[in-house]
Chain A
Amino acid sequence: MVTSNQAPTLSAESQAQIDRELAKYPADQRRSALMSALRIAQVEHRWLSNELIAVVADYVGVPPIAAMEVATFYNMFDRAPVGRHKITVCTNLPCALSGGYKAADYLKQKLGIGFNETTADGKFTLKEGECMGACGYAPVLLVNNHSMCNHMTPDAIDKKLAELE
């Protein structure tokens, strides 16, 4: 977790990953790698503080406001601290028709938090998400942006929560 009075840094591993992304684009179009670079930085620091955005922009070699534009455009970038596990429930129409809201309500009741809130122990954050392209497996949810869980009935949710440390 980043403390506010210390400039965040990118680990060597993150830097290597960003370098790999940068290599995919022409040298004069480094800006193209911004979205990946921000994703990599978010994986390392869990959320994108203003300071971290500036660090990423500096690393990619673009003005900080250019990175800010990207970081604020996409809702999978977190601009505020989140818990260790960010659970994003899809509530778009196909999911909603197949129990998306029920899954969300179950999570709210089980975790004792609402959307955009974090449990007191800092373990879980609950978010409302947009279509994840898996309507056939509704209800779906995402854990930490990267792992997709299908058919999230209350039993499946219980099982998943137990797995998450």
Chain B
Amino acid sequence: MLEIEIDGKKLTVPTGSTVMDAANSIGVHIPHFCYHKKLSIAANCRMCLVQVEKAPKPLPACATPVTDGMKVYTHSDMAVKAQKGVMEFLLINHPLDCPICDQGGECQLQDLAVGYGQSGSRYEEEKRVVANKNLGPLISTDMTRCIHCSRCVRFTEEIAGYQELGMPGRGEHTEVMSFIGKTVNSEISGNVIDLCPVGALTSKPFRYSARTWELSRRKSVGAHDGLGANLVVQVKNNQVMRVLPLENEAINECWLSDRDRFSYEALNSAARLTQPMVKDGGQWKVVGWQEALELVATKLKGITASHGADSVAAIASPNSTLEELYLLRKSLAGLDIRNLEARTRLGDVRFETKAAGWLGQSIVDLAASESLLLIGSTLRKEQPLLAQRLRQSVKKGLKLALINPHDDELLCAVAGKLVVRPDQLVEGVLAVLKAAADITGKAVPADIDLAGVEVSTEARALAELIVAGEKKSLVLGNIALQHERAAELHAAAAALAEIAGATLGLLRDGANSVGADIVGFATNKDLITANKKAYVLLHSELADLKQGAKAAFEGAEFVVAMTSFADEARDYADVLLPVSPFSETSGTFVNMEGKPQSFNGVVRPLGETRPAWKVLRVLGNILGLNGFDYDSSEAVRGDVLNGDIAKVLDNTPAKAVAVKAQATAGLVRLAEVPLYETDALVRRAPSLQATVDAESAAQLRANAATLASFGLVAGGNACVQQGGASVTLAVAEDAGLPDQVVRVPFGRATLALGSGAIEVIKA
């Protein structure tokens, strides 16, 4: 510990702290631009110059380590003179276009210029002008405003993991840019907008639509992945204008994924459903809420009476709130309907956890693991900010290992990996399990048959990695949980975790997947192919479900869709009920670490839209059920989460599943849900849909040898046939895939495809 005195205040700070850290710890503000607590030190803006006793010249606070007995003056004449001098230089080339700059009102340069700038400029020569760059559909540029703090450059390199931005040129010819013709494609690229202390990088979708002082800031929670990022939703005239991160070090730190940041565009989409509608003789008719709900109640009662309660099923999106799911369960339970499912993409009905499946530990604890074995996950696309957090952990010594059906770059050092065919994922885990059992001398459970399992050197290396050390984690990602042998993967992974003494975690896909499990939205029956007589849909759409959903809905007697959008469900539903997306309702999401996070609606519901929990409360009353007199979503939440949440979380397999290695051969499909296909909102956000990631959702990818074996060329087209349907996709090369694997994502472009044998022909 070192003693330091800042502006006369004495304090002690840990060895290695900088003057900036010390000042921040006692709330002394030192003006700065390039310094950011999450980024490396650049010390290139010079704004944080302070006076240090005995130093002959002002020193940059962000890059000056504290020495014992140091005396610092942050607002002495010398310091302020230095800061004002720096400000004068910074303003020399900065355009005075604040009135038309989107950053105006929330600009660090503007704010500091008030404190340290002069009223006029001594500079009379020509100002520098810099051409704008095209960084893609999300980030807008006005590069003349850039003050070269290099925060965005350091962000892409250090936080996002790949340097997409750089500063070519020298001196006053330096410009921040991407490589010629390239856009910034990171899944967390939007953070550079927040980082930019001036108006050089601003939000493209938000551009010129509002001024910051017109917006109210309201807290909410990210509704697209299991992380539950904390949001500040900015609202004007009852409309969501943009979304920013709310700092929460334990969850999203100060970052936000592009999916959480830009999906708000869908909230204002023209496709929003604003009135309850009923299909009457093939024609859609606008009706009142009472009429619509009475029809739903009558129909559901009639169908359960004539065909039994088992003939009705409810399918909810895992992004539905806890309160919505609970009241849906409760109202349907009044009719004895028990077919409830929120794991809409589950590939294996045998998959079942003892209680709600979760990460197995907190996000912070996971990141603090010594080693982590990730099984079946495209982590950067599934949970962008978790991938970012682990990337930082790897730099601090986390050994990250992978068993994956692809070799996607995690943009950090990987301690070991096993790349297998997607249908050999179970065998991959079994190989590591066998090696781990060998090393530790522990026995595997009797249901797991290790006969015929060959241990490769890679598998053995992974086993050695995961059995060594103290704090170990083993995590199953979306590819594993959506796998057609997910139950076997689960059993094998649980056995491996047991033998290795590791914590088993499940990376859940939805914002409230854990909450849905707690409510009991899991049936272990295939509700789609069962062709029920009636379906109740909550926020879920065809692209959230498997092939056959459309046929099942069209064949059903009655389908009620509780949705925010009118453009899809009208094809197959009989009643459309406009229910609020997350921004227009209060509710709770339980994130992957089992933490319930409640939020309020940030805007009024659009048109006749109502929060689904209120709709379901009224439905319960119309059905004549007791216990539907809730007057707030908090009251509903109190009914679900009454007690210690840890007691309802358990990743242990509910039943023993026989696991045995199987030989597979031939062409196989790797189907995963692309980054911007995850839910109804994301699919309707135009800017996200214009990104490179969205483009790849309609691509077939395979390695060069596999492409050649079908006569395909990257850039061409291919016709893919599976499950009696075919689609044409653009072809791209992916060198990280094993032979005879085609990566055909699961999204709107491939919705027609089923499962089973796949064929590819040149188109």
- Stretch from A7-15, A60-68, A99-107, A146-154 contacting the other chain: A60-68
Interface string of B37-71 (1 = CB under 8 A from A): 00000000000000000000000000000000000
Nearest Cβ on chain A to B715's Cβ, whole angstroms: 15
Number of A-B pairs whose CB atoms are under 8 Å? 36
> Do residues A73 and B177 form an inter-chain contact, with CB atoms below 8 A?
no
B180 CB contacts on chain A under 8 angstroms: 50, 68
A63 CB contacts on chain B under 8 angstroms: 162-164, 166, 179
**A residues engaging B (CB < 8 A)?**
50, 54, 62-66, 68-69, 71-73
The distance in angstroms between the C-alpha atoms of A64 and B181, with both chains bound, is 11
New contact pairs (13) apart from A62-B163, A68-B166, CB-CB < 8 Å: A50-B179, A54-B179, A63-B162, A63-B164, A64-B179, A64-B182, A65-B165, A65-B168, A65-B178, A68-B180, A69-B168, A71-B168, A73-B169
A62 CB contacts on chain B under 8 angstroms: 163
Nearest Cβ on chain A to B201's Cβ, whole angstroms: 15
B169: which of A50, A66, A72 is its contact (CB, 8 Å)?
A: A72
Considering the complex, which residues of chain B in the window 137-181 have a beta carbon less than 8 Å from any beta carbon of chain A?
162-170, 177-180
Interface string of B411-428 (1 = CB under 8 A from A): 000000000000000000
When C-beta atoms are compared, the residue in chain B nearest to A50 turns out to be B180
B163 CB contacts on chain A under 8 angstroms: 62-63, 65-66
The distance in angstroms between the C-alpha atoms of A62 and B164, with both chains bound, is 11
> Do residues A73 and B170 form an inter-chain contact, with CB atoms below 8 A?
yes
When C-beta atoms are compared, the residue in chain A nearest to B176 turns out to be A65
The distance in angstroms between the C-alpha atoms of A69 and B178, with both chains bound, is 10
The distance in angstroms between the C-alpha atoms of A62 and B179, with both chains bound, is 12
When C-beta atoms are compared, the residue in chain A nearest to B163 turns out to be A63
Nearest Cβ on chain B to A74's Cβ, whole angstroms: 8
**B residues engaging A (CB < 8 A)?**
162-170, 177-180, 182
Nearest Cβ on chain A to B40's Cβ, whole angstroms: 15
> Do residues B168 and A72 form an inter-chain contact, with CB atoms below 8 A?
yes
When C-beta atoms are compared, the residue in chain B nearest to A70 turns out to be B168
Nearest Cβ on chain B to A2's Cβ, whole angstroms: 15
A69 CB contacts on chain B under 8 angstroms: 166-168
> Do residues A65 and B179 form an inter-chain contact, with CB atoms below 8 A?
yes
5 interchain residue pairs of minimum CB distance: A65-B166, A72-B168, A64-B179, A63-B163, A65-B179
10 inter-chain pairs at a CB distance below 8 angstroms, sorted by A residue, are: A63-B162, A63-B164, A65-B163, A65-B164, A65-B178, A66-B163, A66-B166, A68-B180, A71-B168, A73-B170
The distance in angstroms between the C-alpha atoms of A43 and B138, with both chains bound, is 40
Nearest Cβ on chain B to A47's Cβ, whole angstroms: 15
Nearest Cβ on chain A to B149's Cβ, whole angstroms: 16
> Do residues A72 and B164 form an inter-chain contact, with CB atoms below 8 A?
no
A72 CB contacts on chain B under 8 angstroms: 168-170
Most chain B CB inside 10 Å of its own CB: which residue of A65, A68, A73: A65
A71 CB contacts on chain B under 8 angstroms: 168
When C-beta atoms are compared, the residue in chain A nearest to B180 turns out to be A50
Nearest Cβ on chain B to A48's Cβ, whole angstroms: 12
When C-beta atoms are compared, the residue in chain B nearest to A73 turns out to be B170
B162 CB contacts on chain A under 8 angstroms: 63
Nearest Cβ on chain A to B259's Cβ, whole angstroms: 23
The distance in angstroms between the C-alpha atoms of A64 and B165, with both chains bound, is 10
B178 CB contacts on chain A under 8 angstroms: 65
Nearest Cβ on chain B to A15's Cβ, whole angstroms: 20
Nearest Cβ on chain B to A64's Cβ, whole angstroms: 4
The distance in angstroms between the C-alpha atoms of A72 and B166, with both chains bound, is 11
The distance in angstroms between the C-alpha atoms of A63 and B164, with both chains bound, is 7
The distance in angstroms between the C-alpha atoms of A58 and B727, with both chains bound, is 35
A65 CB contacts on chain B under 8 angstroms: 163-166, 168, 177-179, 182
The distance in angstroms between the C-alpha atoms of A65 and B175, with both chains bound, is 12
Nearest Cβ on chain A to B398's Cβ, whole angstroms: 16
> Do residues A68 and B170 form an inter-chain contact, with CB atoms below 8 A?
no
Most chain A CB inside 10 Å of its own CB: which residue of B163, B165, B169: B163
Nearest Cβ on chain B to A130's Cβ, whole angstroms: 12
The distance in angstroms between the C-alpha atoms of A73 and B175, with both chains bound, is 11
The distance in angstroms between the C-alpha atoms of A68 and B170, with both chains bound, is 12
B166 CB contacts on chain A under 8 angstroms: 63, 65-66, 68-69
B182 CB contacts on chain A under 8 angstroms: 64-65
Nearest Cβ on chain A to B568's Cβ, whole angstroms: 40
When C-beta atoms are compared, the residue in chain B nearest to A57 turns out to be B179
When C-beta atoms are compared, the residue in chain B nearest to A79 turns out to be B168
The distance in angstroms between the C-alpha atoms of A75 and B180, with both chains bound, is 19
The distance in angstroms between the C-alpha atoms of A71 and B170, with both chains bound, is 10
Nearest Cβ on chain B to A69's Cβ, whole angstroms: 5
Supposing A50-B180, A54-B179 touch, asked if A68 and B164 sit within 8 A by C-beta, the answer is no
The distance in angstroms between the C-alpha atoms of A64 and B180, with both chains bound, is 9
